[in-house]
Structure 1
Amino acid sequence: MLNPMSVMVLLEGEFRRLVLWGPVLLALGALAYFVWPYEPGYGAGLLLPACIAVVGLGACFYWRGSLAARLGGGAGVALAVGFAAAWLAAHRQPPMPELPRRATELTGIVQDVAYFPALSGQGGPVRRVTLAHGVLHDFVDDGMAPLRRSLSIRLAPQDEGSVAPGDGLRVRVVLQPPPFPALPGGRDKQFEAWFSGQAGGGYALAGAQVEPGQPQKLFGYQHALTMLRQRVDARIRQILPGSSGTVVATLLAGRAESVPQNVREDFAASGLAHLLAVAGLHLGIVMGAAMLVCRMGLAAWEYAALRWPCKAIAAGTAWVVGGGYVLLTGAHLPAERSWMMSSVVVLGLVVGRRAVSMRGLALAATIMLLVAPQVVLDVAFQMSMAAVMALVAGYEALQLRILRWVSGMSGAKHTLARHGVMLVLTSLLAGTATLPVVMAHFGVVQPFFVLANLVAVPLMALWIMPLGLVALVAMPLHVDAPFLHLMSGGVRVVLWLAHCVAGWPGARIAVPAMPGWGLAAVLLGLCWLCLWRGAWRWWGMPVVLLGTITPWLVTQPDILISPDGQLMGVKDVATLRVMGHARDERALKAAWAQALALPVSDFSGTGENRAETADGSLLCGESEVAGTCALLRYGQEVILRIHDPSDGRIPLPDDVCAQAAAVVSVAPLRVSCPHVPVRLDRFSAWRGGAQAVFLAHGVRVTSDRQKQGERLWVLKPGGHGMPTLPLAQAE
C-alpha cells in the first residue's frame, strides 16, 4: 500500500515527465466546461478560473521548494486555463440563426464545391456547395443582415451549371437546422456545427443561377487555395473516373467526401480507414520524400555538401513542403497536429537535439487545446493523439530490444527484418491504442487490421504517395496522366485488399455504445501507461481494460424515441423493432443500430391485423384501437400508439390504459391515460428531444435535453435559433 511519501518519491523519479501531463490537464479542464450541466456565466466561466490560476501560481512561487505545492498549483492552473479557453472558444462563436421553415430564395457567395456519391449508388455525383454571407429573401427576413454562418446546400440533380468558389449564387432552397442527437448521449451535430461556423443545410428546389450583382471572387489566400484544390480535384476526376480516382483525390486534394460508401465500409471493416484520412502517415511520407530528394541533391553538389548544413536545409525544405501539403488537402485536424509535431522535429534536427519525443507531442497538443479546445471531443484528435502517444512510448521501450535482436543479422536480411518488425510494431501499437476510440465513436472492432496494414502501408509509402507527389509537380505541365495512372494501379490493389479483408468472417464486429465515462477511462489509462516510465505505468492497463468493456457493463434502453416523437424502437433479444415514420428515418435507424449493436427491422402495427414478436413481448392489433401495441417486459406494461389519424383528439379507452405503467404516443396524448405515471408523446419529444426508456427497475426515462443541458450550441425546442434582426435604416 502506497503512502504519500512513497508517492512523492515516485514522482521525483519521474520529474522530467511531469510536464507531459500539462496538456492532459488542459484537456480535462476543457472537458469540464463541455460537460457542465448548464451554461456558466462570466463569473464561473472567467472570473473563477482566473482566481484559481492566480492562487495556483502563488502556491508555486511561495512554496517553490515543495514538489507537492508545485504539482497542486500547476494542476490548478492547467485545469483553470483549459476551462476558461473552452468558455472563450464557445462564446466567440456567432449565434445560431433562425432558419425559415418553408421554401425561400437564398443568395450567397460560394466558398466550396464538393462532390458526393449518389445515395442509391446510381447516377452521377451530387454537388453540394457551401455558401457564405447568405441572405434570405422572403417577407419575414427581408432587410436582414447576411448570415454570419455558412450553409451547406445540395444542388438539384438536373442542375448542370458551372459553379466555382467565389461565385455569387441565387437559388430557391428548403433549409434545415442541425439535427438533434438521435438518442440521449448520441452524436451531437449541433455541437459540431456551432464550432465549425455552420448554420445548417438544405437542398435546392430548382437550378441555381449566378447572381450578376454579387462579388465574383473571394479575396485572399483561402480563395486561392480553394481554387487550387478544385482544379486538382477536377483534373484527377477527369483522368481517373471511378473509385480509385476518388481515393486519389482524397490523398492529393483532401476530397474524401466523393469516396463511395461501399469503399468506406470496406476500408473501415479492414482497419484501413486511416488511409482515407490525411494525417501523420501521409504527411510523414511527403516530408520524408521531400527531405530525401533535397538531401541527395545537395549531396551531389560538391560546393553545398562541403560548406552548407545540408541536413538542416533538407529538414526545412521538407517542413515547407509538408505545410503546403496540409493546406492543399484542406488543413484538417489530424494533418495540423502532425505538421505541428513535424515543426518540433525539424527544430530538433536543426539544433541537434532529439527529434521525435513525447515532449513534441505534448507541445502540439497544448497548442491545439489552447487554440481550439473543442477538439478534446473530436474523434480525429483522440485517435491521432492516442496513436502517436502509443508509438512514441512503444518505441522508447522496445526499440533497443529490436535493434539488439536484428544486430546478429547482416546485409539484406538485417534490413528486411528490421523494417518488417518496425512495420508490424507500428501497426500493432497504433491500432491497439485507437481500438477503444473506434469502438466508442463507430461501434465496431476490426480484428484483422494488422494483417491489412502489413500490405497497404508499405504500398502507400513506397508506391502510391511518391507517385502522387510526382503527379502534383507534373500537373501544371499537363504531363501528370502517366503518374496518376500508375498511382491508381497501387490504389486499386489497396481497394482489392480492403474488399477481401472486409469479406472475411468476423472482419467487422459490432459493439454497443460506450458511455462517455468509459472513453474517458480509456484515454486517461492510456496516458498513465504511456507518459510514465517506471513500473507503476502498468497501473493504467486495468483502467484501459475497464473502459474498453464498459459497453457491456451499462444497461441498454428498452425503448428509443426519435427527437420528433414520430419513430419508436423496441429492443428485442437480437433485433431492434422500429415502428412509425420520421423525416430523418434512415439516419435515425443507422444511429440506433450502431448504439445498440443490433440489426434494425420494421415492425408493422399500424393496421388492424394482429402482429406479434417471437417471444410474445410485443403485441399489436389486440385492442379495438388501430395502431396501438403493448409491450410486456420485466412485469411492466407499456402502451405504444404508433399511428393516430385523429392526432390525439380521440382518447384511448380506459381499459387500454388500466394496467399500463407508461404510454408512448406519436400524437399528443391530451386527455388520454391521465392516470398513467409516465406519459410520453410528441410534445414531450419536442421539449426534451430524443428519449430512452428503461424498464428493468421500474420505468425510467432519460431525455437528450437532460444529457445536454441548456448550452449555447443546443437549439431551442423545435430546432429554433436566434431570430436575425433587420439592418438599421440609413438616415
Structure 2
Amino acid sequence: MERWLERERDQLALWIPVMLGAGAAAWFVLPDPRAWSAALLTATGVAAIATAIGRGGRAGAALAIAAVLVAAGLALTWWRAERVAAPVLTRATIATVGGTVARVEALPARGLVRVTLDDVRWDPVPDPAPVRVRVNLDEAAVPHGLGVGARIAVRARMMPPAPPAVPGAYDFARVAWFDRLGATGRGFVAVTVAAPARDGDGIRATLTAHILRRLPGSEGGIAAALATGDTGAISDDDAEAMRRAGLAHLLSVSGLHITAAVGIVMALVMRLLALWPRLALTGRVPLFAGAAGAAAAIGYTWLTGAQVPTIRSCVAALMVLAALALGREAVTLRLVAVGALVVLLAWPEAVVSPSFQLSFAAVTAIVALHEIPHVRGWFAPRDEAWVAQWGRGLASLLLTGLVVEAALMPIAAFHFHKAGAYGAAANIVAIPLTTFVVMPAEAIALALDAVGLGAPAWWVAHLGLALLLWIARTVAAAPGAVAAIPGMPAGAFGLMAAGGLWVALWRTRWRLAGLIPVAIGAGWALATPPPDLIVTGDGRHLAWRGEDGTVAILRDRAGDYVRDTLAEGAGLDDEPALLSHSAGARCNRDLCWLERGTWRVLATRSAYFVPVAALVPLCRQADIVVSDRRLPRGCRARWVTLDRATLARTGGVAVTLAQRKAVSVRRSGDAHPWVRSSDRGGEKRVARGKRGLFGAEKRGRDRDDGRTGTSRDR
C-alpha cells in the first residue's frame, strides 16, 4: 500500500474535497444528533488510531487526514444548519405580509413575478412568524417601483415550505431551510408600495427586460438565461424539451458560459492592446488580457446571481488564468478540486444538490478523460489534412459527450428519475452553436444597442436560438429519447458515486477497482422494482400500477404538478391514466376499490361523508386503505392504513407489494431542523383534525364543489 500511495502521491490532494463532501453528505443521511455525534467520534477515533499505528508512513497519514476531513465536513454542515435557523410557518394562513424586497424573479412564461421579502411583518401575526418569505404575484398586478430594496405589503395565502410529496421527490423544505425561507404563497390583492426601490429594477432585471423586448418568446428566454441567468421567460414545453434532449446545462450559467465570456473579452482586449506597439513588444499583452478576462468572469458571476455552478466555474476560470500567467498547465483535476473545496467550505449543503453534483461530475469526467495519456495522444493536434483534423475533433467531442453522459446518468436518474439517450449527439451541435454563434452575437448586439445598431446581431442570435430550440424539440420527440427510471436506492447511488470518483481520481491500474462498486450499484438500481402504489403526503392523490404495468391516478382533476410527480415516482415517461377508466379498478364519486392478484386497496376520492356502516366493512376487507381524512377507529385495513393521522407522521409513501415494503418520506426519529419544524405543524393539524372532522365534511356536502375549507386549502 505504501508503494501504491507513493506512485499516487500527486493524486492524494484531490481527495480533500471528496472527504469533506462525504462528511457533509453523512450529516444529511444520518438521522439525529446522536448519530451525528457518534459519526464525529468515530471519525476522530479513526484519525487517532491511524496516527498511532501509521509509523510515519503515507498510508497512516492519508487515513488520518481523510478521517479528520470527514469529521470537519459533518461538523461544518451541522454548524451551518444551526446558523441559518429561522422561524418557519407551521400551517397555512391568510395574512398581510410586508417587508423589504430582497429578490425579484420575472416568470413571463407563467405570467408571474416571484418576490422574496426580508424583515417581514405579519398581520395577523402567526406563531412562529417567519422573517423571510417568497410570494408569487400576477404579472399584471405588479406595480411600478417594485424592485430590490423596495418596501411593499400584500395580502396573500401563505404556506409552509413543502416537503417531498412522495419518496424521492424534490425536497423544497430542505432547500428553503438553508435559504432561511420560512413561508411561500400567492398574493391575491393589489400590492402596496410603501417605499419604491432606489435603484429601479436593478442591472440584472433591466438587462433581462431589454433582451426580452428584442427577442420575445423562448428564444428571448434562452438569451436572457445566457446573459443574466434568468430562465423565467422560457416556456414549460421548451424547458422540458431542453431537459429531454440533454441541453438543460446550457440554461444554467456554468463553465461553458464563463469560458465564452472570458474568451471573448480576452480576444477583444488582446486585439486592442496589440495596436499599441510599445506595449505589444513587451510581451505583457496576454497578462493584461488575462486580467480583463478575470474581471469579466467575476462580473458575469455577480450579474447572473452567483449560483453554485457559476461560482465553481468562476473559481476554475481564475485558476486557469493564474496558471497561464505562471506558465503552468492550466486545466487539471487539482483546479476542479479547488473549485469544489471553495463551494463546500462556503455552502456545505450544496453536496446534496443536483446542481453541484452534475456540474462537478461533468467537469471531473472531462478532465480525467483527457488526462489519460492514450486519449491525449489520440486527439492531440498534428500536421494532417483538414478533413482528418475535423474528424479528430468531432471524435473527441463525441467521446467526451459519451463519457459525460455516463457520468451524469446516475445523478439524473437518482434526482429526476429520467436519463437521456441522445444528449451526446445533440451537444455536438448545440455547444459549438451556443459558444461560437449565439453568445458572441448576443454580446455584440448588446454592445451595439448602446448606439441603436444592434438589430443585425439580434437577427443572427435569433436564428441561432431558433436552431437550438429546433434541435431540442427534435431530439426530445425522438423515440427512446428519455428512459424513465423509478426511485433509486440511496445506497446504490452512493456506490456508483464512490466508484466513479475512484476511477476518475487515481492514475494507476488500481483505478479499475472502482468499476466494481459502480457495477454493484447499477445492478442494485436496476434490480429494484418500481413501486406499485404511491401516495402523496396529504393522502389526496395516489398512483396505482395495474397488472398490465399501466400506471393510473386516483383523481380525474389532478393538477400537472401532481401528475408529473406521481409519474416520475412510478418511472413513467408519459401521462398517467385515470383509475376511473381502468379495468382493475371500481370507482364511484367517493371511493375506489383496486385489485391486483390477492391485494385489495380502498381509497377515498372526494370530501363527501361516507356512512360509517358502509365504510368500515370495506376497510376490513382491504389490505391497504388510503384517505386524506381521519378515518373512524373501526376503519382499519388488514395490513396498513394510510389516513391523515398516519401520513402526518410518515409523509408520502411508496409501496412495493411483492416485497411487502413501504418507503416513506419521513424516517422514524429524523431530527433534521426542517423536519422538526414541519412536525410541529403536523402535530397541530392532527390535533385540530380530532374535533369532528366527519361532521365538518357532512356540513360541506351542500357546497358546489363538495369540499370543505380545509380540503380546498390543501
TM-score range, shorter chain: 0.7 to 0.9
Change (3 A) 1:298 1:348: same
- Check conservation: 1:57, 1:77, Cα contact below 8 A: no
- Check conservation: 2:121, 2:131, Cα contact below 8 A: no
- Residues 429-453 of structure 1 deviation map (CA, whole Å, 9 limit, x = unaligned): 3233212222222222222222211
Equivalent residue number for residue 146 of structure 2? 163
Structure with greater helix share of residues: 2
- Check conservation: 1:156, 1:205, Cα contact below 8 A: no
Q: Does 1:9 align with 2:3?
A: yes
Equivalent residue number for residue 563 of structure 1? 537
In 1: Cα distance, 2:235 partner to 2:586 partner: 40
Change (3 A) 1:718 1:261: farther
Equivalent residue number for residue 135 of structure 1? 121
- Residues 400-433 of structure 1 deviation map (CA, whole Å, 9 limit, x = unaligned): 32246x63514x4465345333333332332332
Gaps of 5+ in 2: 685-714
In 1: Cα distance, 2:566 partner to 2:329 partner: 48
Moved more, 392-401 or 74-83: 392-401
Q: Residue 219 of structure 2 aligns to a residue in which SS?
A: helix
In 2: Cα distance, 1:8 partner to 1:652 partner: 74
The alpha-carbon deviation at position 24 of structure 1 amounts to 1.0
Equivalent residue number for residue 213 of structure 2? 238
Which of 150, 169, 183 in structure 1 is aligned with 2:133? 150
Alignment of 1:300-449 (within 5 A): 300-397=275-372, 398-403=374-379, 407=382, 409-410=384-385, 412-413=386-387, 415-449=389-423
Alignment of 1:204-243 (within 5 A): 204-211=187-194, 214=195, 216-217=197-198, 227-243=202-218
In 2: Cα distance, 1:426 partner to 1:306 partner: 39
Equivalent residue number for residue 568 of structure 2? 594
Which of 162, 165, 186 in structure 2 is aligned with 1:203? 186
- Residues 676-696 of structure 1 deviation map (CA, whole Å, 9 limit, x = unaligned): 442221111123211223322
Equivalent residue number for residue 193 of structure 1? 176
Q: Does 1:453 align with 2:453?
A: no
Change (3 A) 1:669 1:488: same
Change (3 A) 1:117 1:64: farther
Q: Residue 120 of structure 2 aligns to a residue in which SS?
A: strand
Amino acid at match of 2:64: G
Change (3 A) 1:40 1:257: farther
- Check conservation: 1:271, 1:446, Cα contact below 8 A: yes
Change (3 A) 1:575 1:115: farther
Change (3 A) 1:39 1:589: farther
Per the normalisation by structure 1, the TM-score is 0.86
Change (3 A) 1:708 1:431: farther
Equivalent residue number for residue 28 of structure 2? 34
Q: Which has the higher contact order (CA 8 A, sep 6+)?
A: 1
Q: Residue 190 of structure 2 aligns to a residue in which SS?
A: coil
Which of 543, 565, 574 in structure 1 is aligned with 2:517? 543
- Check conservation: 1:633, 1:695, Cα contact below 8 A: no
Equivalent residue number for residue 700 of structure 2? none
Change (3 A) 1:629 1:414: closer
- Check conservation: 2:113, 2:142, Cα contact below 8 A: no
- Check conservation: 1:180, 1:189, Cα contact below 8 A: yes
In 1: Cα distance, 2:410 partner to 2:683 partner: 35
Equivalent residue number for residue 650 of structure 2? 688
Change (3 A) 1:158 1:341: closer
- Check conservation: 2:362, 2:407, Cα contact below 8 A: yes
Equivalent residue number for residue 641 of structure 1? 604
Equivalent residue number for residue 486 of structure 2? 512
In 2: Cα distance, 1:677 partner to 1:594 partner: 26
Q: Residue 148 of structure 2 aligns to a residue in which SS?
A: coil
- Residues 515-566 of structure 1 deviation map (CA, whole Å, 9 limit, x = unaligned): 2222222221111111111122122234334434544321332222211112
The alpha-carbon deviation at position 595 of structure 1 amounts to 1.7
The alpha-carbon deviation at position 575 of structure 1 amounts to 2.4
Equivalent residue number for residue 704 of structure 1? 665
The alpha-carbon deviation at position 654 of structure 1 amounts to 5.5
Change (3 A) 1:649 1:178: farther
Equivalent residue number for residue 689 of structure 2? none
Equivalent residue number for residue 672 of structure 1? 634
Kindly tell me the number of residue pairs found equivalent between the two proteins: 680
Change (3 A) 1:707 1:333: farther
In 2: Cα distance, 1:209 partner to 1:652 partner: 52
Amino acid at match of 1:712: P
Which of 231, 242, 245 in structure 2 is aligned with 1:270? 245
- Check conservation: 1:689, 1:717, Cα contact below 8 A: no
- Check conservation: 1:98, 1:720, Cα contact below 8 A: no
In 2: Cα distance, 1:149 partner to 1:373 partner: 21
- Check conservation: 2:220, 2:233, Cα contact below 8 A: no
Equivalent residue number for residue 161 of structure 2? 178
- Check conservation: 2:324, 2:330, Cα contact below 8 A: yes
The alpha-carbon deviation at position 194 of structure 1 amounts to 0.8
In 1: Cα distance, 2:231 partner to 2:4 partner: 47
Q: Residue 633 of structure 2 aligns to a residue in which SS?
A: coil
Which of 9, 20, 44 in structure 1 is aligned with 2:37? 44
Equivalent residue number for residue 20 of structure 1? 14
In 1: Cα distance, 2:141 partner to 2:80 partner: 41
Q: Residue 631 of structure 1 aligns to a residue in which SS?
A: strand
The alpha-carbon deviation at position 603 of structure 1 amounts to 3.6
What value does the CA root-mean-square deviation take over the aligned residues? Answer: 3.0
Q: Does 1:56 align with 2:42?
A: no
In 2: Cα distance, 1:556 partner to 1:29 partner: 30
Equivalent residue number for residue 506 of structure 2? 532
Equivalent residue number for residue 674 of structure 2? 713
In 2: Cα distance, 1:589 partner to 1:421 partner: 40
Gaps of 5+ in 1: 1-6, 120-124, 218-222, 606-610, 723-731
Amino acid at match of 1:190: A
Per the normalisation by structure 2, the TM-score is 0.88
